[in-house]
Structure 1
Amino acid sequence: MHDPNDTPALPQRRRPHDIEHQRRGLLFVLSSPSGAGKSTIARMLLEADESIAMSVSATTRPMRPGEVEGRDYHFVDTAEFKRMVADGEFYEWAHVFDHRYGTPKTQVRTILDRGRDVLFDIDWQGAQQLFQQAGGDVVRVFILPPSVEELNRRLAARGTDSAEVVASRMARAASEISHWDGYDYVLINDDVERCFAQVRLILRAERLKRSRQTGLIGFARGLMGGG
């Protein structure tokens, strides 16, 4: 009499859901002029998606109340920052409002090695430098304000900057916006929830690109009888 317990176990096959998660990580860039909403949307994305982690920049600016080393920034002095530049330790770096900011390569690679994507909140110069070094792994999204008047209102409503600083930020905004056509996607943030939903759609679509789904190679060969 056949004992059902003697039946050899069938090899487990990978589910398509598992295969979807075998992909190459991407570097997801959000850029916008100050006040257009990129930091708000970046925060919303980090809260909603555990598969993406924020790139933490190194900076020479002083630590502000409430900030934490390694969470908000890696705080370094000017001499150390210059050494890191000389040694090629940054993917990108720039001067912004009298301070230096840069993206250390080591922390980005650590995040990618853990199977997660990396989110960047950087300006057009940083996005350009990052693209030059990482190419096809970079996805660039630029966020525009609905109008100049609304951007000025948002900056003034913060209540943390003088009129002179707001004017300086508005001038810089015009320069930032002039580089909108160097991005893969451009969104208008006239409603933060809608803009956030569009950002999530872009991220999902980019994750599904054939070139990033490394798990599909063996799966497709198996379907064709070659794996």
Structure 2
Amino acid sequence: MSIRTLAGCVAAVAVGLVIAAPAANADEDPTTVPPRTAISLRTPGGFGWGTANEHESRSALSMSKLYIVDYALRHGDGSPEDRALSERMIRDSDDGAATQLASKYPQAIEATASEYGLRQTHGTADWGRSSTSTADITDFLSAKQRTDPGSPIFEWMAGASNTAADGTPQNWGTAQLPGVQGSKWGWSDVGAPEVASASFGSGFSVAAHTYGSPADQSADVLDALPALIVRLVVGPH
């Protein structure tokens, strides 16, 4: 199994766990994940796991809303409108709210990528055409857990709506893993099916992107990670 230590990570703090490297297990082997899916797992304490394609820059879909919201909350004008739009973007994956906030802060995705060192994340004039990687998403969420655990982003992910603003169910992929406390989803409305999900739990964050359906992603994630997540939540035995 491929396990790497994240360069520059500090020791685990209150929101993290001190993790011993789990023993190799077939259902934790990243080489068994179909290439259609990229998966990354991180802890604030520096543990990392990922498929070989976890650094592949793919369509960010609605994962880019995480970056836009983080910028607006921390560097915006602090207006109630910004906060309301941000909440709709995370809870309901509201595209209209995202367009409004991205228009107000067109630099948000690039600025967030620079601040957090997200090398595969790139913004465009249209937030919906931005790109990122599962490694970048989990590195971002892990950094937030470590440095800003009180961010409303976590509250809104934990209170995500069962159905998005456009009527899409929000219930697949990483959200189905044990120990998950909150999630964000993304999907393409045009062309071939393409979906993403990102979740956090006590001391871990995880993200997946799949060239396929929600069911495809759920199958790939659940085949790869449950035993490892359990180890992170309850510790090695």
Same topology, TM > 0.5: no
What TM-score results when the alignment is normalised by the length of structure 1?
A: 0.27
Higher relative contact order at CA 8 Å, sep ≥6: structure 1 or structure 2?
A: 1
Larger radius of gyration, structure 1 or 2?
A: 1
What TM-score results when the alignment is normalised by the length of structure 2?
A: 0.26
